[in-house]
C-alpha cells in the first residue's frame, strides 16, 4: 500500500484488555469487521496471532504491533526484529514501533530496515517532537502521538493536540493516537493536522468504557442523593433551603439587614440552618451582584451594598465546613429554569424583573457566568444616562407613581392598572415596552430558543402579555419566544444547588 492510502482515515485499534472477557481472536476479528462496517478505513491490531485472525476476515489496511513487558527495557511496542518478522508474516501492512529515546533491544534504524526489507510501511510511536524528528530522519513513513504522556510522570487526561500540530510541521503523515475518547477530540486532532486518527479504548475496550460510565453514574447518583444547603441572599430577604435535585426538602426565610454586611448575613444564615447540620454535603449560594473567582462585589449598590471583592466562597466554606459554590442569583435562576423549569433544557435567557432587573444566559448546555446576563445594567436604552433597571423595574415604578401623586409599590400599581387607573396603566406600559425592546435585543444577540420571564414584576398578571404585544409585528425568525418562569422564588436556590453539585 501507499502512504496516501491512509489519508483522511479513522483507524480503530482493536486491542482487548489483556486476559479480559474479549481477549480472543473471534472477538478481535468481530470488532474489526464492525468497525469497518461503520466507516473505519484501517485497523491497529496487537500480536501476530490477532493480525493473522483479522487478516483472514478483512482486506483493510492493518497496523500491526507486538506488546511486551521487558525486564531490561521500558520499550513495550514492537521491541524486537523478530516481532517485525512475525507481524509481516501475519499480514500487517504497516508496522508500528516505540520510537522514544530510551534503552531498547533493537535500534530504530534496525527496526526500520527490517520493515522496509519486507516492503511494508512503518509508524513511529512518539512521545515528543524530538522523537518524531529522529524517526523521520531514520526513514519512518508515519509518526504518531501514541506515546505522549506514557514515558514518565502522571498520565494526562486529554490527547496531546499540541504535539500533533507540531509534528504536522515536519510531515503531512501524522497519525493522532492516545486518549482520544470523544468525537470532539477526534475532530480536534484532524483540525490540528492529523492525516488519520486512531481510536481504541472508547470503541473496543468494553471494560474501560463501562468503567467510565460507571464512575460518572455513581458520582451522579451520590450527588443526587446528597442534599445541598442552598442560600439566596437578596436585597430584602434571604432564603435558605435544603435541596436535593429539584426537591426543596426544607426552607426558611429571614430578612436581609441592609445595614449589616456579608459576615453578619452569613452568621445569621448559619444560625438559621444549624438544625440541618449533617444533612447536607455542600453549599450553593445565589447572590445579587458579581461573583468573580469566589469573590463577591456589588454592581448596583442601590440593590445591596457589598464590600468590593468579599471572599464569599472562602468564608462560607469555613463557616459551614463544606465545599461552597457561589453564583449571581439571576444566573442561578436561569440555570434552575433551564434544567428543571420553563427553559426545557434548551438555549435559554432568563430575565427577572423585580425590585431591579437581572438575567442569566444558558447556551449549549452551559451557564454564562461572571458579568454575563446583567441586562438591568445596560445603559443604551437611556442613552447612557442610567441603567435600564432604573427606568423599568419595581423601584422605578414606585418612583413614577410618587411623581404622579400616588404612594404605591409595584403590586399596588398593577392592581390600580387592572382597575382602570390611567396613571398606573401608563407606568406598566412604559416598563413593558422597555423590557420588550430588551427582549428583542437579546434575541438578536443570543438567539435563544426561549426567553423566560420571572420575578415579582415579570410574573404580575398581564405583564407578560403587555411585553408580547410590542413584539407581535416582528417576523417569526426575529421574534423571541417568551415564556413565564415556572419555579417561582425557588428558581435561584434550585439552580445554585445544582451548580454547586456540578462544581463541587
3-state secondary structure of 240: strand
**Residues forming a β-bridge with 121:** 94
Residue 202's pLDDT band, with cuts at 50, 70 and 90, is: very high
3-state secondary structure of 363: strand
Residue 287 — φ and ψ, nearest 5°?
-140, 155
**Residue 221 pLDDT greater than 80, yes or no:** no
Return the sign of the alpha-carbon dihedral for residues 243, 244, 247, 250: negative
pLDDT digits (tens, 9 = 90+) for 121-165: 999 999 999 999 999 999 999 999 999 999 998 999 999 999 999
Contact 61, 6 (CB under 8 A): yes
Contact 171, 134 (CB under 8 A): no
- Between 301 and 392, where is the model more confident? 392
How confident is the model at residue 59, as a pLDDT? Answer: 97
Neighbours of 348 (CB within 10 A): 26
pLDDT, averaged across the chain = 94
3-state secondary structure of 73: coil
**Residue 464 pLDDT greater than 70, yes or no:** yes
**Residue 225 pLDDT greater than 80, yes or no:** no
Residue 259's pLDDT band, with cuts at 50, 70 and 90, is: confident
Residue 436's pLDDT band, with cuts at 50, 70 and 90, is: very high
Q: What is the mean pLDDT of residues 259-274?
A: 93
**Residue 258 pLDDT greater than 90, yes or no:** no
How confident is the model at residue 504, as a pLDDT? Answer: 67
455 dihedral zone (left: phi>0; alpha: psi -120 to 50; beta): left
Candidates 249, 313, 315, 235; CA nearest to 280 is 249
How confident is the model at residue 224, as a pLDDT? Answer: 67
Q: Look up the CATH number of domain 239-331+494-503.
A: 3.30.420.40
Q: Does domain 3-211 fall into CATH 3.20.20.70? A: yes
Domains 3-211 and 345-486 share a fold: no
**Residue 256 pLDDT greater than 70, yes or no:** yes
Q: What percent of the chain has pLDDT over 70?
A: 99
**Spatial distance between the Cα atoms of 335 and 452, rounded to a whole number of angstroms:** 11
3-state secondary structure of 430: helix
CATH architecture of the domain formed by 345-486: 2-Layer Sandwich (3.30)
Degrees to nearest 5, angle at CA 303 with 299 and 307: 55
**Residue 89 pLDDT greater than 80, yes or no:** yes
How confident is the model at residue 421, as a pLDDT? Answer: 95
Residue 223's pLDDT band, with cuts at 50, 70 and 90, is: low
**Which stretches within 341-462 are classed as H helix?**
394-403, 410-418, 422-446, 455-458
Q: What is the mean pLDDT of residues 299-314?
A: 87
**Spatial distance between the Cα atoms of 203 and 209, rounded to a whole number of angstroms:** 8
Predicted TM-score (pTM) of this structure: 0.67
Q: Domain-by-domain residue ranges, the chain?
A: 3-211, 239-331+494-503, 345-486
- Between 288 and 483, where is the model more confident? 483
Place of cell 436585597: 235
Contact 353, 453 (CB under 8 A): yes
Burial 274-284 (b: 16+ CB within 10 A, else e): eebeeebbbbb
The size of the chain, in residues, is 504
Among the residue ranges 25-39, 219-233, 351-365, 371-385, the one predicted with the least confidence is 219-233
Residue 110's pLDDT band, with cuts at 50, 70 and 90, is: very high
Using a CB cutoff of 8 Å and minimum separation of 24, what contacts does 306-312 make? 306/261, 306/262, 307/261, 307/262, 310/262, 312/262, 312/285, 312/287
**Residue 456 pLDDT greater than 80, yes or no:** yes
Amino acid at each position: 500500500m501507499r502512504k496516501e492510502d491512509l489519508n483522511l482515515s479513522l483507524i480503530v485499534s482493536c486491542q482487548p484488555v489483556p486476559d479480559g472477557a474479549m481477549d480472543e481472536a473471534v472477538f478481535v476479528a468481530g470488532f474489526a469487521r464492525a468497525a469497518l462496517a461503520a466507516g473505519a478505513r484501517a485497523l491497529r491490531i496487537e500480536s501476530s496471532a490477532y493480525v493473522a485472525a483479522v487478516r483472514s476476515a478483512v482486506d483493510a489496511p492493518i497496523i500491526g504491533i507486538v506488546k511486551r513487558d521487558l525486564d531490561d527495557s521500558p520499550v513495550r511496542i514492537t521491541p524486537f526484529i523478530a516481532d517485525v518478522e512475525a507481524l509481516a508474516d501475519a499480514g500487517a501492512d504497516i508496522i508500528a514501533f516505540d520510537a522514544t529515546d530510551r534503552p531498547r533491544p533493537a535500534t530504530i534504524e534496525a527496526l526500520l530496515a527490517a520493515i522496509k526489507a519486507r516492503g511494508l510501511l512503518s509508524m513511529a510511536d512518539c512521545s515528543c517532537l524530538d522523537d518524531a524528528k529522529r524517526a523521520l530522519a531514520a526513514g519512518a513513513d508515519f509518526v504518531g502521538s501514541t506515546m505522549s504522556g506514557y514515558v514518565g510522570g502522571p498520565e494526562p487526561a486529554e490527547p496531546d493536540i499540541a504535539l500533533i500540530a507540531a509534528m504536522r510541521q515536519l510531515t503531512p503523515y501524522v497519525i493522532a493516537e492516545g486518549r482520544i475518547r470523544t468525537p470532539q477530540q477526534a475532530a480536534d486532532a484532524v483540525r490540528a493536522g492529523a492525516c488519520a486518527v486512531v481510536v481504541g479504548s472508547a470503541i473496543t475496550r468494553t471494560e474501560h468504557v463501562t468503567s467510565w460510565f460507571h464512575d460518572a453514574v455513581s458520582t451522579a447518583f451520590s450527588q443526587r442523593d446528597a442534599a445541598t444547603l442552598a442560600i439566596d441572599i437578596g436585597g430584602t430577604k434571604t432564603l435558605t433551603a435544603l435541596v436535593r435535585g429539584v426537591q426543596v426538602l426544607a426552607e426558611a426565610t429571614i430578612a436581609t439587614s441592609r445595614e449589616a454586611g456579608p459576615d453578619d448575613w452569613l452568621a445569621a444564615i448559619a444560625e438559621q440552618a444549624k438544625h440541618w447540620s449533617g444533612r447536607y454535603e455542600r453549599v450553593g449560594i445565589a447572590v445579587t451582584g458579581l461573583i468573580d473567582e469566589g469573590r463577591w462585589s456589588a454592581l448596583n449598590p442601590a440593590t445591596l451594598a457589598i464590600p468590593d471583592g468579599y471572599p464569599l466562597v472562602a468564608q462560607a466554606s469555613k463557616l459551614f465546613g463544606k465545599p461552597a459554590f457561589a453564583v449571581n442569583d439571576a444566573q442561578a435562576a436561569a440555570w434552575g429554569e433551564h434544567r428543571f423549569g420553563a427553559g426545557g433544557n434548551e438555549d435559554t435567557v432568563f430575565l427577572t424583573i423585580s425590585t431591579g432587573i437581572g438575567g442569566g444566559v444558558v447556551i449549549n448546555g452551559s451557564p454564562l457566568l461572571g458579568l454575563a446576563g446583567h441586562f438591568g445594567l445596560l445603559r443604551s436604552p437611556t442613552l447612557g444616562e442610567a441603567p435600564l433597571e432604573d427606568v423599568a423595574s419595581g423601584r422605578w415604578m414606585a418612583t413614577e407613581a410618587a411623581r404622579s401623586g400616588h404612594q404605591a409599590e409595584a403590586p399596588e400599581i398593577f392592581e390600580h392598572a387592572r382597575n382602570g387607573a390611567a396613571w398606573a396603566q401608563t407606568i406598566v406600559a412604559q416598563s413593558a415596552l422597555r423590557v420588550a425592546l430588551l427582549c428583542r435585543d437579546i434575541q438578536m444577540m443570543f438567539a435563544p430558543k426561549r426567553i423566560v420571564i420571572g420575578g415579582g414584576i415579570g410574573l404580575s398578571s398581564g405583564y407578560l402579555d403587555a411585553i408580547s404585544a410590542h413584539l407581535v409585528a416582528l417576523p417569526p425568525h426575529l421574534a423571541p419566544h417568551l415564556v413565564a418562569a415556572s419555579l417561582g422564588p425557588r428558581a435561584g436556590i434550585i439552580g445554585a444547588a445544582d451548580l454547586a453539585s456540578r462544581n463541587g
